[in-house]
Structure 1
Amino acid sequence: MKPWFKRSLFGLAGAALVAGSLTGCGYRHGGWHNASEQDRAEFRARMVERVSSKLELDATQKAKLAALSEKIQAQRAALRGGGDPRAEFRSLFAGAKLDQERAKKLVEDKTAAIQAGSPEVIAAAADFFDSLNPEQQQRVRDFMDRGRRWGRG
């Protein structure tokens, strides 16, 4: 494969990674990206309650699910960074040419955030999933296969 073609593919993959991560950082319905931390905490609590109900979790399992939810939120916050991710992404296209150096820095920053927080998220996910009995684990698998949210049946 030609070096310029390989670099172009990596560049496009990096741009897709940045676009996907920035798009995924915000909830698009109802202005979630502008929600207060209290609103987000209430949403997480409702989701923990909903999933706990669907899976019939005991208190220990529910606590592990809440811990997983907190780790995921911390990872999202780290990935999002301090500013407005959409504005940051749009700024790459503000000039006559794409700001490649800034785009590379953005990809590096997001990748570093993912690498730094992923071990904790994985450990929390494993701790929660491993605490489930086989029937509950199967319900989780079924949920993932359906591709639906817990609240939609």
Structure 2
Amino acid sequence: MKPWIKRTLFGMLGASLLVGGLSACSSGHGWHRGPMDEQSLTEMRGKALERVGSKLELDAAQKQRLEHLADALQAQRKAFMGDATNPREALQALVTGATFDRAGAQALVDAKVRAVQAGSPEVIAAMGDFYDSLKPEQQAQVRDMMSKRRGWMRHRG
């Protein structure tokens, strides 16, 4: 496999893990309460960055790159979510009639794909900058965590 393909795939995988972790934290505990507010998201983001920073023993420059990655992921999440305050309403609107609204579903998917495509270059660049700034032993830690399928967000010990 070509190195740039491998880097891109690794970057997308890492970004997916981080986005998944942030998404899980933002919605997993609050299904009955609705989406988290900005203050709660900011607090959880700070804790996640602190946890990652301590696990990998990041220096100041690496922490700054990690924060830039988190900013890019947060912007990507906002773009993906769009203006909807309640994403379930958009899905529920597809099944309100006698037939499934295929055109509405396709429009919803197209909007999400455009949002991901528009923000992906920045997320990939931020992930690449962060990963490339890590020392070889830190990179090995990241690979080891990923191979064990244990992310920072799920492991509490």
Matched positions, count: 130
Alpha-carbon deviation of 1:149?
2.9
Q: For the aligned residues, what is the CA RMSD?
A: 1.7
Alignment gaps of 5+ in structure 1? 1-23
Structure scoring higher RCO (CA < 8 A, sep ≥ 6) equals 2
1:4-23 residue pairs with structure 2 within 5 A?
none
- Structure 1-normalised TM-score? 0.79
Structure 1 match to 2:44: 43
Alpha-carbon deviation of 1:33?
5.0
| % same residue | 49
- Structure 2-normalised TM-score? 0.77
Deviates more, 1:27-36 or 1:95-104: 27-36
1:85-96 residue pairs with structure 2 within 5 A?
85-96=87-98
Alpha-carbon deviation of 1:134?
0.5
* 2:78 is the counterpart of 1:74: no
Structure 1 match to 2:156: 152
Alpha-carbon deviation of 1:39?
1.3
SS at match of 2:27: coil
Alignment gaps of 5+ in structure 2? 1-22
How many angstroms apart in 2 are the aligned matches of 1:104 and 1:70?
Answer: 29
Structure 2 match to 1:16: none
More helix, by proportion = 1
Structure 2 match to 1:27: 27
Read off the aligned partner of 1:124 and give its amino acid letter. Answer: A
Once the two structures are superposed, residues 46-83 of structure 1 have per-residue CA deviations (whole angstroms, 9 ceiling, x without a partner) of 10100000000001001110110111011011101111
How many angstroms apart in 2 are the aligned matches of 1:138 and 1:43?
Answer: 26
